[in-house]
Amino acid sequence: MMFDEPTFLPADISRVLVVEDDEVDFRHARRLLHEVFGSDLKLDWAQGVESAIDYVNTGDHDVYIIDYHLGGQTGLELMNELASPHRSGVVIFLTGIESPQVDRTIARAGASDYLIKSEVTAALLERSIRYGLAMEQRKSALHTEAAELRAAKARIEEQTEEYISIAEDLAATQHRLQQAFARVEESESKYRFLAEHDNLTRLPNRAFFTRFIEEELSKAAANGTGVALILLDLDRFKAINDNLGHPAGDALLVDTARRLVTALRDCDLAARLGGDEFGVFVTNLAGRADAVAIADRIIDAFSESRDSVDQRMSTSASLGIAFADDADSTFETLFRNADTALYEVKRSGRGTYQIFDEQLDRKLRREEELRSGLPSALKNGDLFLEYQPQVSATDGAVSALEALLRWRHPKYGVLAASEFIPYLEKSFTDNSVTGWVLEEACRQARQLNDTMGFDAPIAINISPIELRNPDFATLVQGTLLKTGLDPRSLEIEITEGSLLDHIGYVRDNIETLSALGIRIALDDFGTGFSSFAHIRMLPVDKLKIDRSFVLNMQRSRKDVAVVLATISLANALHVPVVAEGIETKDAVAFLGGETNLHLQGFHIGKPLPANALSAWLSGRPTAPTRQRAAPRTAQEP
Ligand code: C2E
Ligand code: MG
Ligand code: MG
């Protein structure tokens, strides 16, 4: 630090204390002082330490000149008083002899100089005082600066405290804000969860699932990994819900979600899409087999015996699987394909899975084409009937003609009934096709009767869905009236499937028709439930052994047993029996001779178009099986 050199010369002082026990020495000092500072200088003289202390306490001296040896004491004892930071003033010691030890002691005590009495001159004294004053000035400047620094430090400390308290306030506010944000986030995530999940099963919902699949599809397209969508539908869910109530249905759905999730890997996602429909999106597939393995696990998870006491709650799962094979697979195509596969499995089996592929796609497209084309086929005259004869096994006389529906399709050629009726059954509800077949067949029978005296009945196949129609019997009656056909010349072939549901209307229809004299044949006998209760409850006039048994007779004794047992049953009931599917001479030879037995099949006669009928029939005898024989009762002999 730089200090200005003292600007006074000689030093500007006004009062001096001389501490000296020797008067001669005092006078010498006074003379020198007056010589330097003039005789106006105020001078106090203390002769010992005590009186010096009094002076120090009262006076305000610029300079203290102190003899080192004061009788038995030393001038150092004054230094305690003089060293107070509040007191300023130059302290100069005088001593008789030079001693380095005294020199050090005096310097350490804070004096500015010490002079040897014998060497002191006015100039030396003046210079010593001047330097002493300069030093005092520096000391006081340092004091001031130190005081300022202390004040600054105190201010900084004060501000720091202020900042600390502001910072603490800020921290508290920040904490409160964080808590508020956390609450907002929590409620946001709760809201998001609710918006993206199904309330009942806690599985992701359709919206979330859709988003997930869209993201995964683009990832899979980029990485070339395999992904698949599996749609799952619970079998029998509606029945369980209706019969056991909604709480049971809900419990089943929750249980389904649990089973589903346990069958999946971490990278798969299950969702509830609504009702009893669930979706699973599987990713990271090495091949199709991976998805099939997952589907198998899901199916197993449902077949595993339910520990619930209530077996009525047991169900199975049907799965439709679609793979996203090409890069431009979209959510929509994937969903549609999986849905198509699911539809197929629901229709054909249940409790298993079906993979969507080109073949299935073609098949279903064709079905759809047929379904939508049927009304115009009817209108355009593309439907026609073929007639297949049944003959007596004993003499070959024609006992009936079965009308079989055909469709001359503009794209697929002539289709047999088996190729379209199973898919179109539902289209038969409006009676339009039924009405047409009935009328066509009755007209044909009437014509054969009129032209060649043909008097065996015409048989018409009626599907379960037609038979459930309450107006069916009325429709038949109306047709008979219109065509003028004798009711006894009409036979209605029904299958056991007809008798399972809606038995009320079915029974009414059958009884009404039977009462009119129309014969009722039980078709495809042996393939349904073959419940004897049906035979007991309903007026059955004929049994038709399903062709699958007849076709298999040569290979299987069991089929022979079924055929023979059915013939025996018919005999006991006193109703005729028809063996369908006679394709060979051998079959005729094996069954030939059975009374009451009639044969139908390609070997006997293929289904013929109407215009070929009269040629085929001419020259053949007919043996109408019109008379109903009452079955024997146990009371009869
Ligand atoms: P279905 O009543 O059992 O008719 C016999 C089916 O077996 C016919 O098939 C016939 O062509 C075929 N068939 C006859 N003889 C033989 C043989 O020796 N070997 C073999 N393998 N098959 C033989 P189609 O015409 O395809 O009819 C299939 C089914 O469609 C019929 O079975 C019947 O249930 C139903 N159906 C036919 N026409 C009609 C109709 O007009 N209305 C309704 N609702 N169903 C019909
Ligand atoms: Mg039939
Ligand atoms: Mg049949």
Q: Low-confidence residues of the chain, pLDDT below 70?
A: 1-11, 85-86, 304-311, 327, 501-502, 530-531, 625-633, 635-637
Check if 602 has its Cβ closer than 6 Å to any atom of ligand 1: yes
Task: Give residues whose Cβ lies within 5 Å of ion ligand 2.
Answer: 461, 493, 523
- Of all protein residues, the one whose alpha carbon is nearest to atom 35 of ligand 1 is 417
Beta strand 42-46 pairing with 608-609? unpaired
pLDDT for the residue 6: 43
Indicate which ligand has the atom closest to the C-alpha of 402: 2
Using CA positions, which residue lies closest to atom 41 of ligand 1? 405
Ligand 1 binding pocket includes 544 (Cβ within 6 Å): no
One-letter amino acid at 220 equals A
Contact 353, 320 (CB under 8 A): yes
pTM: 0.64
Tell me the one-letter amino acid at 405: L
- Give the residue, by CA position, lying nearest to ligand 1 atom 3: 524
The dihedral formed by the CA atoms of 2, 3, 5 and 8, expressed in degrees to the nearest 10: 170
Please give the Cα distance from 535 to 373 (Å, whole number).
Answer: 37
* Pocket of ligand 1 contains residue 437 by CB under 6 Å: yes
Peptide bond into 10 cis (omega under 30): yes
- What is the position in ligand 1's atom list of the atom closest to the CA of 600? 15
Count, residues in the chain? 637
| 580 Cα to the center of ligand 1, angstroms | 10
Residues ≥6 apart with Cβ < 8 Å to 93: 66, 67, 68, 75, 106, 111, 113, 114, 115
CA distance 100 to 114: 11
CA of 523 from ligand 3 middle (Å) equals: 5
In whole angstroms, give the CA distance from residue 63 to residue 164: 49
521 CA → ligand 2 middle, Å: 9
What's residue 309's pLDDT?
A: 46
Give yes or no for a contact between 327 and 294, defined as CB atoms under 8 angstroms apart. no
Q: Which atom of ligand 1 approaches the CA of 385 most closely?
A: 41
Any ligand 1 atom below 6 A from CB of 462 = yes
237-244 and 246-262 are packed helices; what angle lies between their axes, rounded to 10 degrees? 140
User: By alpha-carbon position, which residue is closest to atom 11 of ligand 1?
Assistant: 607
How many A from CA of 327 to the centre of ligand 2?
49
Q: Cα(493)–Cα(580) distance, rounded to whole angstroms? A: 13
Tell me, in angstroms, the distance from the centre of ligand 1 to residue 558's CA: 24
Please state, in angstroms and rounded to a whole number, the distance separating the CA atoms of residues 588 and 391: 11
Note the ligand closest to the C-alpha atom of 462.
1
Q: Which atom of ligand 1 is nearest to the CA of 524?
A: 3
DSSP run (H or E) holding 422: helix 417-424
C-alpha of residue 545 to centroid of ligand 3, in Å = 7
Q: What amino acid occupies position 154?
A: A
Which ligand 1 atom is the nearest neighbour of the CA of 544?
A: 3
C-beta separation of 212 from 204 below 8 A: yes
Q: What is the pLDDT of residue 349?
A: 78
Residue 305's pLDDT is 54
DSSP assignment of 363-413, as one string?
Answer: HHHHHHHHHHHHHHHHHHT-EEEEEEEEEETTT--EEEEEEEEEEEETTTE
User: Quick one: pLDDT at residue 537?
Assistant: 80
Residue type, 311: Q
Cα–Cα distance for residue pair 10/8, rounded to 1 Å: 6
- Atom index in ligand 1 nearest the CA of residue 416 equals 26
In 429-505 the beta strands, taken as DSSP E runs, fall at 458-461, 490-495
> Bridge-partner residues for 401, per DSSP?
389, 458
User: Is the Cβ atom of 427 under 6 angstroms away from ligand 1?
Assistant: no
517 three-state secondary structure: coil
Dist CA 319 CA 316 (whole Å): 10
Q: Nearest C-alpha to atom 7 of ligand 1 is from which residue? A: 581
- In whole angstroms, what is the distance from residue 125 CA to residue 37 CA? 11
Q: What is the largest CA-CA distance in the chain?
A: 188
Cα 33 to middle of ligand 1, angstroms = 155
Cα dist. 413→191, 369, 406, 416 in Å? 59, 14, 10, 10
Report the b/e string of 234-268 with b at 16+ CB within 10 A. Answer: bbbbeebbeeeeeebbebbbebbbebbbebbeeeb
Which ligand 1 atom minimizes the distance to the CA of 463? 44
Distance, in Å, from the CA atom of 324 to the CA atom of 217, rounded to the nearest integer, reads 8
- Whole-angstrom Cα distance, residue 151 to residue 154? 5
C-beta 111 within 6 A of ligand 1: no
**Tokens 């198509």 — which residue?**
340
Question: How many other CB atoms sit within 10 Å of the CB of residue 79?
Answer: 19
- ∠ CA 552-553-554, nearest 5°, is 95
**Predicted pLDDT at 628:** 55
- 191 CB under 6 A from ligand 1? no
- For ligand 1, atom 20, name the residue with the nearest CA: 581
Tell me the CA end-to-end span of the chain in Å, nearest whole number. Answer: 151
Q: What residue's CA is closest to ligand 1, atom 33?
A: 461
| Closest ligand 1 atom number to CA of residue 386 | 25
Backbone torsion region of residue 574, taken as left when φ is above 0, otherwise alpha when ψ lies between -120 and 50, otherwise beta: left
Domains and CATH numbers, the chain: 1-194 (3.40.50.2300), 206-356 (3.30.70.270), 390-617 (3.20.20.450)
Pocket test for ligand 1, best of 418, 444, 460, 546 (most atoms within 8 A of CB): 418
Report the distance separating Cα 141 and Cα 110, nearest Å.
17
Is residue 583 lining ligand 1, measured as CB closer than 6 Å? yes
Q: Please list all protein residues whose beta carbon sits less than 5 angstroms from ligand 3, which is an ion.
A: 523-524
- Distances in Å between the Cα of 65 and the Cα atoms of 52, 108, 130, 141, 217 are 11, 17, 13, 23, 104
493 CA → ligand 3 middle, Å = 8
Tokens 């794209």 locate to 411
Mutate to test the pocket of ligand 1, among 404, 405, 437, 585 (most ligand atoms within 8 A of CB): 404
Q: Which ligand number lies closest to the CA of residue 417? A: 1
Q: Ligand 1 atom closest to Cα of 583?
A: 18
Residue of the nearest CA to atom 15 in ligand 1?
A: 601
Per DSSP, what are the bridge partners of residue 353?
319
Distance between alpha carbon 77 and the CA centroid of its chain, in Å? Answer: 96
Read off the pLDDT of residues 71-88 as tens digits, 9 standing for 90 and up.
Answer: 888 888 888 888 776 677
Rounded CA-CA distance 451/440 in Å is: 16
